[in-house]
């Protein structure tokens, strides 16, 4: 019996469940580059190049490990353009009698896989993706009967389950969470490590050339493309992060600096999400650094929380919320995305920095995504679906299961509070506290009205006023509403006028 094993671009792991326990000489691994995937949103050029190059390298790795890999390139003449079309052609080509596949990472592709048993006259087996700590059923059990889902409690269960940073039943250091120590603004004169740059080899150069031709109109530059595209190189970046950036990761996790795109972040998400790196292996390596006394507890705990806490939690929300989650718009926001999200051309320095580095590197760190581009979109009332599609397109680590709850839920509050207990809305003061952006900006962060006033300030109050019926009852929003109520009518009118005038300039 011959078995076909399709492996998708986010399944680049040797221990994938569909490969486990199979006889290599009776299987064909199928990897396909298809228009359907390169085109469901207008992905950043570097994101496409990263995924396709990593796929091509992974195919070589699998061959070296003894697998037979059938690889269909994007420009192959007969390419049908879809996963289903390519599986149909491969079933014919190889005369297979069985199909094994690890479950899809998103609703769109899941619907496709679910149609395969009816469509193909072969035995179809869909296996769970066991590269996560929490199974779908476990998340459902955890979420069931809870009035509110909160990451912190989920995270504690994941600590207990994994045993990471645990002393029997107690958390290492006596606390579950050291986040209060992780909010330091950074100074320019601190020495920070640059992530490793991996010079494109022949395969990557071929992909980059093809991407520049075929996706010329897409956002993004590729001149500085330096992603690892093999597990071996991704492990080098992992080690580089553990040795040089992790010790300061906690302290400066929320900081932002002009011209410093990476600070002490790991830049590992593209590798974790495509399967080149194993998230639990990485967390164990972080724990070892802590146990060896090389990194403080706030860094180790903070990093591990991002992975076994936030990453697993957003995946649970994505699958439990269902395919209709994407249509949520609890704050009824409908403004189209301003053009500067695609060009970075705006006088607002914080936005031009966050978007500029996104165009250059297909990367921005969490606080830039949440408190600069996300916060602006929230305050300006941008359409959450357009915002979601932008995040899905522009970041090399973006797959819907992880991007959607972060953008639509965490950053836009469009799910009405399923994921987060309150909107992440902030005036310019927050950005000023956590960055040096405001000192390079043509706007004055201290002013609320007038031609020099920082737009985030009036937009913040406009957001508070516009959404009072929806947010006033939220206990975590009591303080902003108290402050709004204390303002004079004249101040309120001036702020709302200022915001409206600014919004009109967005087109």
Interacting residues with ligand SF4 (CB under 6 A): 348-350, 428, 431-432, 437-438, 441, 443, 445, 454-456
Instruction: Round to whole Å and give the CA distance between 212 and 503.
Output: 35
Q: Which of residues 413-442 bind ligand DLZ (CB under 6 A)?
A: none
- What does the per-residue mask of binding to ligand DLZ show for 375-414, with x meaning CB under 6 A? ------------------------x---------------
C-beta of 154 vs 399, nearer to ligand DLZ: 399
- What does the per-residue mask of binding to ligand FAD show for 291-330, with x meaning CB under 6 A? ------------x--xx--xx--x----------------
* CB of residue 419 to ligand FAD, shortest distance in Å: 10
H or E stretch at 170: strand 170-171
431 binds, among ligand FAD, ligand DLZ, ligand SF4, none (CB under 5 to 8 A by kind): ligand SF4
Instruction: Round to whole Å and give the CA distance between 246 and 30.
Output: 37
* CB of residue 116 to ligand FAD, shortest distance in Å: 27
Lookup: tokens for 206: 């071929």
Instruction: Round to whole Å and give the CA distance between 370 and 363.
Output: 13
Instruction: Round to whole Å and give the CA distance between 196 and 344.
Output: 25
Q: How far is CA 364 from the centre of its chain?
A: 10
Instruction: Spell out the residues 6+ positions from residue 113 whose beta carbon is closer than 8 angstroms to its own.
Output: 101, 103, 104, 126
Lookup: tokens for 386: 């357009």
- Tell whether residue 103 is a contact of ligand DLZ (CB under 6 A): no
Phi, psi (rounded to 5 degrees) for 98: -145, 155
Q: Do the beta carbons of residue 95 and residue 2 sit within 8 Å?
A: yes
**132-to-47, 212, 273, 313 alpha-carbon distances in Å:** 23, 34, 11, 11
Q: Do the beta carbons of residue 263 and residue 257 sit within 8 Å?
A: yes
- Tell whether residue 9 is a contact of ligand DLZ (CB under 6 A): yes
> Site for ligand FAD (CB under 6 A): how many residues?
28
Q: Which of 260, 369, 385, 448 binds ligand FAD (CB under 6 A)?
A: 369
Instruction: Spell out the residues 6+ positions from residue 392 whose beta carbon is closer than 8 angstroms to its own.
Output: 41, 398, 400, 403, 404, 407
407 binds, among ligand FAD, ligand DLZ, ligand SF4, none (CB under 5 to 8 A by kind): ligand FAD
C-beta of 116 vs 154, nearer to ligand FAD: 154
Instruction: Round to whole Å and give the CA distance between 165 and 367.
Output: 25
H or E stretch at 101: strand 98-102
The residue written with tokens 């190049």 in the block is 49
* CB of residue 370 to ligand FAD, shortest distance in Å: 4
C-beta of 248 vs 266, nearer to ligand FAD: 266
* CB of residue 387 to ligand SF4, shortest distance in Å: 18
- Tell whether residue 162 is a contact of ligand FAD (CB under 6 A): no
Q: Which of 3, 5, 57, 106 binds ligand DLZ (CB under 6 A)?
A: 106
Task: Give the footprint of ligand FAD on this chain (CB under 6 A).
Answer: 265-269, 272-273, 303, 306-307, 310-311, 314, 365-366, 369-370, 374, 391, 395, 397-398, 402-403, 406-407, 410-411
Kindly list the residues in this chain that would bind ligand DLZ in the complex (CB under 6 A). 8-10, 32-34, 37-38, 43, 48, 51, 104-106, 109, 399
């Amino acid at each position: 019996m011959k078995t076909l094993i399709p492996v998708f671009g986010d399944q680049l792991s040797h221990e994938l469940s569909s490969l486990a326990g199979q006889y290599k000489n009776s299987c064909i691994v199928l990897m396909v580059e298809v228009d359907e995937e390169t085109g469901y949103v207008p992905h950043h050029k570097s994101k496409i190049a990263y995924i396709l190059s990593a796929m091509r390298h992974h195919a070589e790795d699998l061959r070296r490990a003894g697998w037979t890999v059938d690889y269909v390139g994007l420009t192959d003449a007969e390419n049908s353009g879809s996963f289903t079309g390519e599986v149909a052609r491969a079933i014919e080509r190889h005369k297979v009698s069985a199909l094994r596949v690890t479950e899809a990472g998103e609703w769109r592709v899941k619907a496709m896989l679910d149609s395969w048993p009816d469509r193909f006259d072969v035995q179809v087996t869909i296996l769970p993706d066991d590269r996560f700590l929490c199974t779908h059923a476990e998340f459902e059990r955890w979420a069931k009967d809870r009035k509110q889902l909160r990451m912190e409690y989920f995270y504690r269960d994941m600590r207990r389950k994994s045993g990471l940073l645990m002393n029997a039943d107690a958390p290492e250091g006596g606390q579950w969470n050291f986040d209060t120590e992780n909010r330091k603004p950074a100074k320019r004169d601190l020495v920070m490590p640059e992530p490793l740059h991996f010079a494109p080899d022949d395969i990557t150069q071929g992909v980059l050339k093809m991407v520049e031709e075929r996706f010329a109109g897409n956002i993004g530059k590729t001149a500085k493309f330096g992603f690892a595209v093999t597990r071996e190189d991704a492990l080098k970046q992992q080690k580089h992060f553990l040795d040089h950036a992790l010790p300061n990761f906690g302290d400066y996790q929320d900081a932002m600096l002009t011209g410093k795109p990476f600070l002490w972040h790991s830049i590992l998400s593209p590798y974790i999400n495509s399967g080149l790196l194993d998230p639990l292996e990485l967390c164990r390596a972080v724990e070892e650094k802590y146990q060896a006394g090389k990194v403080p507890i706030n860094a180790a705990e903070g990093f591990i929380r991002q992975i076994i806490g936030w990453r697993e939690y957003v995946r649970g929300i994505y699958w439990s919320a269902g395919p209709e989650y994407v249509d949520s718009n609890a704050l009824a926001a409908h403004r189209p995305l301003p053009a500067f999200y695609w060009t970075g051309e705006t006088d607002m320095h914080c936005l031009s920095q966050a978007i500029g580095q996104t165009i250059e590197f297909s990367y921005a760190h969490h606080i830039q995504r949440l408190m600069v581009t996300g916060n602006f979109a929230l305050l300006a009332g941008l359409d959450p679906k357009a915002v979601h599609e932008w995040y899905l397109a522009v970041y090399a680590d973006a797959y819907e299961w992880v991007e959607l709850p972060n953008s639509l839920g965490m950053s836009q509050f469009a799910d009405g509070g399923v994921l987060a207990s309150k909107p992440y809305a902030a005036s310019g003061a927050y950005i000023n506290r956590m960055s040096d952006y405001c000192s390079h900006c043509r706007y004055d962060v201290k002013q609320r009205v007038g031609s020099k006033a920082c737009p985030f300030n009036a937009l913040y109050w406009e957001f508070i006023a516009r959404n009072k019926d929806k947010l006033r009852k939220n206990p975590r929003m009591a303080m902003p509403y108290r402050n709004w109520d204390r303002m004079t009518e004249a101040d309120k009118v001036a702020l709302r006028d200022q915001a409206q005038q600014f919004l009109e300039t967005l087109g």
